[in-house]
Amino acid sequence: GGMEKIKQHTFALAHYTYTVLSALKYANGAPVVRIYSDTDFSNPDVQGPIINFNVLDENGEVIGFSEVDKMASLYNIHVRTGCFCNTGACQIHLGMSNEDIQRNLQAGHVCGDDIDLVDGRPTGSVRISFGYMSSFEDAQTFLKFIIATRLSKSDTEIPFQSSITKLTTESVPDDHPSFNNADKLSPIPHIWDRELRNNSSVTKTTVHWQTPEAESESIRAAVSETAVPTCRRGGKPITVTNIYLYPIKSCSAFEVTEWPVGNQGLLYDRNWMVVNQNGVCMTQKQEPRLCLVNPSIDLEQKIMVIQAEGMDPISVSLEENTGNEAVVCESKVCSHRVKTYDCGEGIAGWFSLFLGRPCRLIRQSSDMKNRSYQKNTKGLASATNISLSLVNEAQYLLINVASILQLKEHISARLEEPLEIDELIRRFRANIVIRAPESFEEEEWAEISIGALRFQVVGPCSRCQIICIDQQSGERNKEFLQSLSAARGRKTNFGIYLMNQPLRSSFPDTLSVGSQVLPVLKENTEIQPPTSSEEKCSG
């Protein structure tokens, strides 16, 4: 039908979505979204099929665009986030001054990162776009996503009934030449109203990003600023309970009780990765079956053995292939270029057969200058000299069993079935698992010492949809990320990133299960190990 028909079609979808979004309210009357627009979506000649917005909580506070993006991905919805290469419009609609922009930069925010809030104020927004191939069902899917993650059943009944009534009579401007047949859109409200009533996944959904009041109070108490005492009750020590390395990025964990530490983290942790035929790194987001690949390291024989159900084991030498036959290439990990080399046809065939698609195994080159830690982390000495393997963010990821236990109760209640703590630990794919007396106290640490090793805390780990994948079956369940977001109060942070700063010591650089962990609080008050179990806090 040509561009005029495409304009009518896409504008109808955008106008419908805009109308329903604008009408969504919490039980207290607060809007669910704040839409940024120079028009009222009444004229397709001046308004394109794009809606730019931020999601709000019931108190009117903005929920960061990064968190919205992660939740949308669980519903197979692709949104664009940030400032959309238009800093001027971003400043105008978000009310940011030039000083605000400078402050955001000083806080470490750069274009394309996940820093969506600085001092509680948004650094960008969320955008959805409709094209000629978009359908009414696409608009419905997006609206159902907002309902399922923001509103309870009681919240949605009244706002949606009123919005549907208004939409029936006001959705299409009768006087506009492009919309002289308003009846074309009349079925839309009735379809939506019927699906809302019949879709149990929507009408029975409780709050995903906001916890019930009783749960909220217990969570807030656990993660509040005062949750970490200067001296722990009973003087209980903190110990390392599990150590995991992941030789092949996004594949199964290899658990050890003691392991040497290299200058990139645990020795051989994420030294290899699987890439597709275009050389792009494959992760569990695109290929969940990677979690069924089990690599293990034999330090004595200097090999990595790779196993998977239904496949013959195959081994890869730990010795780097530096000969002329090595195929050296450049790959990208989180937009950073890394020098790698191909591990050969045999292992490429093994992975291609198991995953059912052409792929290859590559290994990071030992040229340590090819990738270093670049983030502006306050207090991290010589940050640019710290080398990274094929990890996304930092050398180590640490989680706390006490925090896992608290989260386990919330997820089990939402799933209405028991959940094993070992399963949760596997889902969070940490290198170091500790047991501390207080849940989430690790978020108050500035640095820690484990034996002769000293680690700088470089920030929280913001989780993605990989925690939704059962690491033993490869099956997805989006409830895990939604539950984490609800329990943590709009954020998906869980665990902390560490960088290694070895102490000058005669002890070998080795991590061991059972070692004591000595943290230093962000206020630089060190928590000393108690002299007896009866020692009391002195202030």
- Beta carbons within 10 angstroms of residue 493's beta carbon: 18
Helix/strand/coil for 520: strand
State the pLDDT at residue 235: 60
Q: Indicate the helix (H) or strand (E) that contains 166.
A: helix 153-170
Structure tokens at 466: 């990989």
Task: Give the pLDDT of the chain (539 residues) as one tens digit per residue.
Answer: 789 999 999 999 999 999 999 999 998 999 999 999 989 898 999 999 999 999 998 889 999 888 898 888 888 899 999 888 888 888 888 888 888 888 888 777 777 777 788 888 888 899 999 999 999 999 999 999 999 888 765 444 433 433 433 333 344 444 444 443 333 333 333 334 444 344 433 333 333 333 333 333 333 333 333 333 333 344 689 999 999 999 999 999 999 999 999 888 899 999 999 999 888 889 998 899 999 999 999 999 999 999 999 999 999 999 876 544 444 454 445 455 677 888 999 999 999 999 999 999 999 877 644 444 444 444 444 444 567 777 777 899 999 999 999 888 888 887 777 888 999 999 999 999 999 999 999 999 999 999 888 899 988 998 888 888 999 999 988 888 888 888 887 678 899 999 986 445 555 588 999 999 999 888 644 444 433 333 333 33
CATH code, 3-150: 3.90.1150.10
Whole-angstrom distance, CA of residue 163 vs CA of residue 238:
54
Contacting residues for 70 by C-beta, under 8 A, at least 6 apart: 463, 464, 465, 481, 485, 492
C-alpha 55: how far from chain center: 17
Check for a shared fold between 3-150 and 235-262+391-524.
no
Q: How far is CA 57 from CA 54, 68, 211, 471, in A?
A: 10, 12, 12, 32
Beta-strand pair 396-400/432-435 = parallel
Length of the chain: 539
Catalytic residue among 85, 329, 359, 537: 85
Domain map of the chain by residue range?
3-150, 235-262+391-524, 271-367
Active-site residue flag, 85: yes
**The domain at 235-262+391-524 falls in which architecture?**
Beta Barrel (2.40)
The answer to whether the pTM exceeds 0.85 is: no
